[in-house]
Structure 1
Amino acid sequence: MAKAAKSSKKSQSADKNRLKPEKEERVTVKELARDERTHKITGVIFLLLGLFLTIAFASYLFTWKVDQDKVLGGGSILFPEEGVKTANLMGNLGAWVSHQFFYNGFGLASFLVCTLFFVVGANLVFAKRIFSVWRNVRYLLAGIVYFSVALAFISKGSFFPWGGEFGKLISNWLSVTLGVVGTAALLLVIGAAYMIWRFNPVFNVPKIPKKKAAEAGAKLTIDDDVLLDEEAEQPEEIIVPKGRTKKIVQPLIDTPPVHDLQLTTKSLNDEMDLPAHTNE
């Protein structure tokens, strides 16, 4: 009996060890958000969204006329009847999204939205700060507003929504408030300020090479010498004053008479009353 009881206890303990359920690890939302795999998956999704928008926007530039009557119906194109198909490379969804960004939004400036998806996606996939997200957000907001208004102002009367509905409204308001010339001047100033803020170009005074500078200096010295020679060759102009002038009378100077200093022997004897010597 004792042996049977011991064997039964051993069998029960063995069964308990075999049937013991495994412990499930509880994953919290914070841990899931901090997980590296979650970041990579999110980054891949952002990159795919950026690629999707880029292809859809580029296709819209060529297919907007064909798909316009279909996308004007609103979101019903996402659940179309049989036979309703758009020409956009990204299908009905791509045509509808592109129409919202271009026609009802910011026009050609909508391409800047794609850059934000690529920036965020690259940072998440590589787990590094390759690009500054907040700096790109600032550039995106300023650029999408400026280029939308500028393109709408330049392309007035065009059927293609270069600046979108947003740019069209702001451009019309500025034209009424500041006039056409004032709006153009304002857009030029803001555009130059945006480019300097975005790219920070370096402005340098062009430097003349040493050889060219030496040649220019030699040419200047030659020209100066020629001018001096020409001035020396020119006679001095005598300026005669007009009006009453005092006449300067020079004093008379007695000039001594001119005598013939060539004396002969005869004349010398006559002067001194000496007898003439004769040659005997």
Structure 2
Amino acid sequence: MEKDIKKSPAKTAEQNKTLSKLRIFFGILFLLISVVSALSFVSYLMNWKADQSQAGTMLDKEIQSSNIFGKIGDWLGNIFIFDSIGIAAFIVAFLFFVVGLIILKKNYFKPWKTVGHSLFFICWLPIFMGAVTKGEGVLSGVYGYQIMDFLNSIIGTAGLWLVIVVSIALYFILEFNLNPTNIKSKLNNLNDNTVGKVKGMMPRSEKSFEADEELDEVADSEEEKITVSESSPLSKKVTKDPITGLPDIPINQDLETIVTPNQTSFYESTENNSVTLSPTPSVPIVDIVPKTDDINFKVEVAKTVDIVDESDRASQELVDKHGFYDHKLDLAKFQMPTLDLLRDYGNEEISVNKEELEENKNKIVGLLKNFNVGISEIKATIGPTVTLYEIVPEAGIRVASIKKLQDDIALNLSALGIRIIAPMPGKGTIGIEVPRKNPSMVSMRSVIASQKFQNSDMDLPVVFGKTISNEIFMADLAKMPHLLMAGATGQGKSVGINAILTSLLYKKHPSELKFVMVDPKKVELSLYSKIERHYLAKLPDGEDAIITDTHKVINTLNSLCIEMDQRYDLLKNAFCKNIKEYNKKFSERKLNPENGHR
């Protein structure tokens, strides 16, 4: 019977080949990563003491590595073994191998079960190795040592081992369902199988032969009671299917036979690997469904209908006629502030004081040597106000021993305060930040004029200065709805507030931003009184835009709360989540000002 069925277009052969090639490529890539990682870990465990001092020297061609994969192998070993999970890093390599097999459609492992077991041993094995080695070597990694040391200090050695043993015991109990009942049943099944095998080897008795003969006679008598004609397919011998092992029953050409799962048949096996169908007294029920060749069966897929609302159509017509709404046209003649308003401090290059660097270097090395902390390498990075000294400790030196010396180093350097970064993110070094005696000037003009600030796409970009690596540091004030700036006198709170205000004034149009300023000290924000006409918001009956009387702040805050509630109502009516989405919808002329939208 021919059927008129619409089918979705299948993928072409070229697309299937491309997908197959991509799958093979990524599968082999993950397998290669697994092998490289495993060999790198093995080589790292054999030579970690000699190669650890080379951390952070990836680009130095003069330093040679003894790892089988060179400095890449050292880096992998240092990241996964020394700085993290120790010997459990081999489980990570194994997971890469499993992912590669899954991509290649080699389902030798159950994915989620394998990941679950791997995560458990990644957490458990480092702690166990830390307890066994007592933190010596790299088998436990930093993670295993820190957790072991913490548990040891809280619950003692006995409690630590109790936690380790109980956790692994619970794992096996939950995974293999080990309980007294299951163990007893498994032992009984094992005994029954053993006894059955022994009985099968014993000769059969005469009584058993007699019992078999009686069963054969009963079966013959039942066959004689029920007769089946030769033309019926039930009386024919049926060959077993080689795959499923079930009999292949012939079907009448004029009828389609459907056998439900609850229908059973009785089969007697014969010697030539075929079966003879012998119906039992309860004849199975067969559902007979006649064929319908004369009915034309068609399948159609409903098409997606794009429903355009009347308001959307009207807004689109307005956009086509007048273009998008430009809020800056309300103050079309307004000119953004220029860089000439900011003071130019001239050359702001960082000056290098070699005597200060050499003196601090000698003090750091000498102090660490007094505490038996050896250093194989030290490097200085000079920032505008802080100098960063990066040190590479000798093999076997723990990071925690250097962290404890923070106050001693600050005292020896006669510095107001230092900061130790151990380890440096993305590096195999330890950083010591020391304030400079003569810091360099970082002017507001230099950071405002930078391309990073000028080309920023943040909602409320704020530039705070430069980092220790002399890079522009920026943040989005829109992601900080509640910001608290605190600190001692002279730490830069006022400078920070001025940096925020200046950044926003140089980036935002008056139609996009309004300030409400409260200055209890009366002298901090008085400079901004000149921008009252464009940027400052105040009450209609207010005298000064910058509030200096704390008793008058209450009315301003109450009015702001009322304005906030009104804006939330507008967002609700416009089906928007935030002000950015609301303004975008208004600029696309989808919101009618006659309905209160603005």
TM-score bin, normalised by smaller chain: 0.5 to 0.7
Q: 1:157 to 1:150 in 2, by over 3 A?
A: closer
Between the aligned partners of 1:69 and 1:114, the Cα distance in structure 2 is 24
Please list every run of 5 or more consecutive structure 2 residues that lacks an aligned counterpart in the other structure.
Answer: 1-10, 196-598
1:78 equivalent to 2:63? Answer no
Cα distance in structure 2, aligned partners of 1:101 and 1:92: 14
Shift of 1:185: 0.9
Contact 1:139 1:198 in 2 (8 A): no
Instruction: After TM superposition, give the deviation of residue 115 of structure 1 in Å.
Output: 0.9
Q: What displacement does 1:53 show?
A: 0.4
The equivalent residue for 2:51 is: 67
Residue type matched to 2:29 in 1?
A: I
CA-CA distance at 1:48 after TM superposition: 0.1
Aligned equivalent of 1:153, options 117, 121, 131: 131
Q: Percent identity?
A: 28
Name the structure 1 match of 2:156: 179
Whole-angstrom distance in 2 between the partners of 1:151 and 1:33: 47
Cα-to-partner distance string for 1:36-85 (whole Å, 9 max, x where unaligned): 221111000000000000100011111111111112xx2xx321133x11
Shift of 1:154: 1.5
Task: Give matches, 1:190-209, under 5 Å.
Answer: 190-197=167-174, 203=183, 204-205=186-187
Change (3 A) 1:161 1:199: farther
> What's the CA shift string for 1:163-195, capped at 9, x where partnerless?
110111111111122211111111001112224
Q: How does 1:117-136 map to 2 (within 5 A)?
A: 117-125=96-104, 127-136=105-114
In structure 1, distance between residues paired with 2:38 and 2:119: 18
1:137 alignment partner, one of 101, 115, 120: 115
Higher relative contact order, structure no. (Cα contacts within 8 Å, ≥ 6 residues apart): 1
Match of residue 36 from structure 2:
52
Partner of 1:257: none
1:50 counterpart letter in structure 2: S
Report the structure number with the largest CA radius of gyration: 1
**Alpha-carbon separation, structure 2, partners of 1:112 and 1:176:** 28
Instruction: Give the Cα–Cα distance (whole angstroms) in 1 for the partners of residues 16 and 151 of structure 2.
Output: 49
More helix by share: 1
Contact 1:56 1:94 in 2 (8 A): yes
Query: What's the TM-score once normalised by structure 2's chain length?
Result: 0.27
- The Cα of 1:103 is off from its aligned counterpart by 0.8
Matches within 5 A, 1:1-280: 35-71=19-55, 74=56, 77-82=57-62, 84-125=63-104, 127-158=105-136, 160-197=137-174, 203=183, 204-205=186-187
Contact residue 103 and residue 161 of structure 1 kept, 8 A: yes
Matched residue type, 2:41: F
Distance 1:41 1:196, change over 3 A: farther
Task: Give the direction of change, closer, same or farther, for the CA distance of 1:33–1:164 in structure 2 (3 Å limit).
Answer: farther
Cα separation, partners in 2 of 1:146 and 1:69, compared to 1, 3 Å: same
Superimposed CA distance per residue, residues 9-36 of structure 1 (whole angstroms, 9 cap, x where no aligned partner): xxxxxxxxxxxxxxxxxx9xxx699812
Unmatched runs of 5 consecutive residues or more in structure 1:
1-26, 211-280
Deviation, structure 1 residue 198: 5.1
SS in 1 for 2:48: helix
How many pairs align? 174
Counterpart CA distance in 2 for 1:197 and 1:102 is: 29
Contact 1:104 1:164 in 2 (8 A): yes
Q: TM-score when scaled to structure 1?
A: 0.56
